[in-house]
Structure 1
Amino acid sequence: MPGRITVLGLGPGNPALRTIAAELSLQQATRIILRTTVHPGLEDLADDPRVTSCDDLYESLPTFSLVYDAIANRVVAAARETDVVFAVPGHPRFGESSVTAVFALAAQFAVSVNLIEGISAVDAIITLLGIDPIDSGVQLLDGTACVETLHTGDFRSGMHAVDPSRPCLINQVYSSSIASAVKLSLMRYFPDTHPVSIIQAASAPGLERIRESTLFELDHQSFDHLTSVWIPALTPLTDLRSIKTLQWLVALLRSPGGCAWDRKQTHTSLRDALIEESYEVLDAVDAGDGANLQEELGDLLLQVIMHAQIAEEMESFVFADILESVNAKLIRRHPHVFGDAVALTPEQVVETWNAVKAQERNGHFSTPGGESNGIGLPRSASALSRVARQMTNTADADSNPLGDDEALQLGNDLLNAVDAIVRRGGDPDRMLFAALQGRGKGVADSVIHGVKPT
């Protein structure tokens, strides 16, 4: 009959902080396996004949994943012969992947596992810092996860959900390489000069140490297996790299006592600004000006946030509804990435995309507003764009493409027509749209039924 595994936490480094349950379990154990002896506060167990460790696995295996699997195999194999205490530093459920591996493997062999809690390193750190983690909204991060994220290169956006308006406690920062990954990850959210605290041996008597640095210089410090990093929160007016700050600023400007101009705006009054900002983005794209593109995209994003705030005040929708809609649409229209569809070439992707859009048009998904007259353009598109799209869809292709001189002449004819309209007080776009509507039903029917207009 297999034995039982007792997984217990030894606390963060001070034997006096072990729980009574942990001490009793250790005293009654016939065999004790330590995940590691490289931790303070284990002197009383070092020469105990019942004790073995897994330090040899760290020395012989190349990755932590393999180490944790090997530890689990060792613990479960021992438990199939006798009762085993598997003891780990801190709390067994705080950053202990080996414990997760033990539970999973033990379940496969029907070996029962009991868990005895311990004081975690997090407890010791917040005590040393003198903070209330719930009141301050502390975020707990794993430094090794930052390394894995960096391996994705330029495609890591959104992989770390860090909120700079809340402080961060980052554990397992045991080397300069991990500190460098933490720095590069957090510099997406915090200023380079943001202050950080490097905490070592938080509960080891006489070894506790806090060093101050800046985020940029973080990886220039010394680290060991007892090192954590504390990142203070940014205030709203200094958290300038967060979408939440932009939402907060717009809401503040729109609120009573905010900005009179911003409070006056409506969806309709901002219509021209939205178009102008979009064109300015296109100007930056056409100019290949990255710095200006960054600025103009920010101005365009401001328009989105403004419309979202106005809609929220009208109880129409909120910004999160916008995100939900576009995220769902991206997932839905990429079944070859997020589902079982196969699309290996750009042409196959377009076919898949169009097939999903057809389902949307047939009522499988809600897509209000949108396209008009079957030409694939929004109703508010310029008349010239609509004419060009309709003529492309319905006119026979000319086998003789435009030459340079002819193109210039036709361009001048178009320009002269616009000039004549403007000189007489007309609106070229509206007049072109009216002419398009004059053709109206005939053109629309030809697009829908595939009949060339006469």
Structure 2
Amino acid sequence: MPALTVIGLGAAELDQLPLGLYKFIKQAKSFYIRTEDHPVVQELVEEGITFTSFDAVYEKHEDFSAVYREIADTLIALAAKEDVIYAVPGHPLVAEQTVQHLIEAEREGKVSLQIKGGQSFLDPLFTAVRVDPIEGFQLLDGTAMRRDDIQMNQHLFIGQVYDAFSASEVKLTLMEKYPDDFPVTIVTAAGSSKEVIRTVPLFELDRGMELSNLTTVYVPPANEREQRYKEWQTFREIVAILRSPEGCPWDREQTHESLKRYSIEEVYELIQAINEQDDEAIVEELGDVLLQVFLHAQIGEDEGYFSMEDILQSISEKMVRRHPHVFGEVTVNSSGEVLSNWQAIKETEKPKVEHLLQGQRREESSLLTSFNFQKKAATVGFDWPDVAGAWSKFDEELQEWKHAIEHGTLEQQVDELGDVLFTLVNLSRFLKLSPELAMQQANQKFERRFRFVETSVREGRGDFGDYTLDELEEFWQQAKHEERRG
């Protein structure tokens, strides 16, 4: 089988090309290069070396992936007939997608591949910005860079920033994490006689810069904690410090049990912010909920039982497992089928219970416990056939409560009140309404209207005792009227 040899042209001029590679090129018969846009190419022409470039392929396609695929396919076809030499900028194994396609073809037995080195652009780049790579660095493709790829505590090098459009895309991605004025360095033709280095604030990255396929953007580590507030790792570090011996006495004292009430309070406050459609409050309250998650995770890690990684693994596995229509081969046609599959999968995951209602109790919420009990009992047919039965049961329990109030003991009255509330929860289940949410909204509504009454009293005669109940009721009706107008 003829051989396809890939060589690297290095990062700069001909005098940086290893002598062995130069001799190899000189005796080449079938010589192809990915692009002529490289400092060494003109010197090769002056040396009398002939070659065929793939620059025309770039004009045929709108995206680079198609370009690289066509170049690789063409080379494989050529190598089936004769020995071929293919040259790329820098080193063949550094940021070179065409070579990755060729390696894939080699694994499939489609081509006999040899790779010969060449200086990558990284060596002169490290020199240009004075970076020791052992400190930790990332090399990212500017045409496919995602926010979540970025590690702000490392040196970041971004290639493929070849024009204003790609620079703008890179800038916008970086701005999702870095401050707008964070310093970034633009390096073009690193290591060559035409090397250009310029440091600008991030927001100027795509403004008036001379960019080319030899341009790399360097972003230094964000060493100040305040610069890394948008990173998960930073928040985790803050929580760990709070729980450390040098941290906060209150945070160190907390346990899973002591934090329970705060977790509930924060969720309720989040729901209130959602009900009020207050985006700023939602952001703040989501942060408070997230704090509870991180505190519990840190307590687990401090005690040696589990860590944040265990939590992430558990929920990731569950989401993939319970969405076989997304991550597997299952087909669904409606959200109803999704829920049915979810429940079926969930049942296989849970250990067998001795009693049907086992595990359904929620100590922090009697409403939610009632809802769960009734929902679970309904799964085995212990339920009214329709909502009419639930309404009849409510009327029956209401009459029994009224009778207990007139004739029964205090214990009987409380017992019958519980039955009324229980049937109300059942009605809410039939009507697909959340009793917990309904009660929260009722409390919020009462608080809001009573504040209006209180303010009206203060602005009037100054004391509740100076008003009749009818006058206070008038304030209450005014509060309702204001809500409808708002």
- TM-score, normalised to structure 1, is 0.80
Q: Report what 2:196 is aligned to.
A: 209
Decide which of 176, 182, 185 is 1:194's aligned counterpart: 182
Structure 2: state its 5+ residue gaps: 423-486
Cα distance change, pair 398–74 in 1 and its aligned pair in 2 (3 A)? closer
Identify which range, 108-117 or 25-34, moves more after superposition.
108-117
Q: Report what 1:385 is aligned to.
A: 368
2: CA distance, partners of 1:28 / 1:378? 81
Say yes or no: does 1:18 pair with 2:6: no
Equivalences for residues 334-345 of structure 1 within 5 A: 334-345=323-334
2: CA distance, partners of 1:116 / 1:170? 24
2: CA distance, partners of 1:380 / 1:182? 50
Cα distance change, pair 75–168 in 1 and its aligned pair in 2 (3 A)? same
Residue by residue over 1:67-120, the C-alpha shift from the partner in whole angstroms, topping out at 9 and shown as x without a partner, is 223322433333333322111110001111122233444666743211011111
**Count of aligned positions:** 399
Identify which range, 333-342 or 106-115, moves more after superposition.
106-115
Q: Report what 1:354 is aligned to.
A: 343
Higher relative contact order (CA 8 A, sep 6+): 1
| Cα drift, residue 182 of structure 1 | 1.1
Q: Contact conserved, 2:76 with 2:110, CA < 8 A, in 1?
A: no
Say yes or no: does 1:306 pair with 2:305: no
Q: Contact conserved, 1:308 with 1:317, CA < 8 A, in 2?
A: yes
Decide which of 160, 164, 173 is 2:152's aligned counterpart: 164
Equivalences for residues 243-392 of structure 1 within 5 A: 243-362=232-351, 373-374=356-357, 377=360, 379-391=362-374
| Cα drift, residue 401 of structure 1 | 8.1
Q: Contact conserved, 2:157 with 2:216, CA < 8 A, in 1?
A: yes
| Cα drift, residue 271 of structure 1 | 1.4
Matched residue of 2:144: which SS?
helix
2: CA distance, partners of 1:313 / 1:263? 10
Cα distance change, pair 378–19 in 1 and its aligned pair in 2 (3 A)? farther
Residue by residue over 1:325-373, the C-alpha shift from the partner in whole angstroms, topping out at 9 and shown as x without a partner, is 000000000001001111121001011101101111257xxxxxx9995
Q: Report what 2:69 is aligned to.
A: 69
Q: Contact conserved, 1:41 with 1:204, CA < 8 A, in 2?
A: no
Matched residue of 1:238: which SS?
helix
2: CA distance, partners of 1:298 / 1:340? 36
1: CA distance, partners of 2:67 / 2:389? 71
2: CA distance, partners of 1:78 / 1:348? 52
Counterpart of 2:197, as a letter, is: I
Cα distance change, pair 402–193 in 1 and its aligned pair in 2 (3 A)? farther
C-alpha RMSD over aligned residues: 3.2
Counterpart of 1:299, as a letter, is: D
Q: Report what 2:172 is aligned to.
A: 184
Residue by residue over 1:274-303, the C-alpha shift from the partner in whole angstroms, topping out at 9 and shown as x without a partner, is 111111111111111111000001011111
Matched residue of 1:42: which SS?
helix
Cα distance change, pair 359–221 in 1 and its aligned pair in 2 (3 A)? farther
Cα distance change, pair 67–395 in 1 and its aligned pair in 2 (3 A)? closer
| Cα drift, residue 14 of structure 1 | 2.1
2: CA distance, partners of 1:402 / 1:109? 73
1: CA distance, partners of 2:274 / 2:62? 47
| Cα drift, residue 60 of structure 1 | 3.6
Cα distance change, pair 401–266 in 1 and its aligned pair in 2 (3 A)? closer
Counterpart of 2:172, as a letter, is: L
Counterpart of 1:25, as a letter, is: F
Counterpart of 1:268, as a letter, is: E
Q: Report what 2:206 is aligned to.
A: 219
Cα distance change, pair 57–356 in 1 and its aligned pair in 2 (3 A)? same
**Percent identity over the alignment?**
36
Q: Contact conserved, 1:254 with 1:262, CA < 8 A, in 2?
A: yes
2: CA distance, partners of 1:113 / 1:395? 70
1: CA distance, partners of 2:151 / 2:242? 22
Matched residue of 1:12: which SS?
coil
Cα distance change, pair 107–296 in 1 and its aligned pair in 2 (3 A)? closer
Matched residue of 1:95: which SS?
coil
Cα distance change, pair 45–383 in 1 and its aligned pair in 2 (3 A)? same
| Cα drift, residue 176 of structure 1 | 1.4
Cα distance change, pair 55–261 in 1 and its aligned pair in 2 (3 A)? same
Q: Report what 1:424 is aligned to.
A: none
Identify which range, 79-88 or 193-202, moves more after superposition.
79-88
| Cα drift, residue 249 of structure 1 | 0.8
Q: Contact conserved, 1:180 with 1:219, CA < 8 A, in 2?
A: yes
Matched residue of 1:128: which SS?
helix
Cα distance change, pair 377–232 in 1 and its aligned pair in 2 (3 A)? farther
Q: Report what 1:114 is aligned to.
A: 114
2: CA distance, partners of 1:18 / 1:372? 77
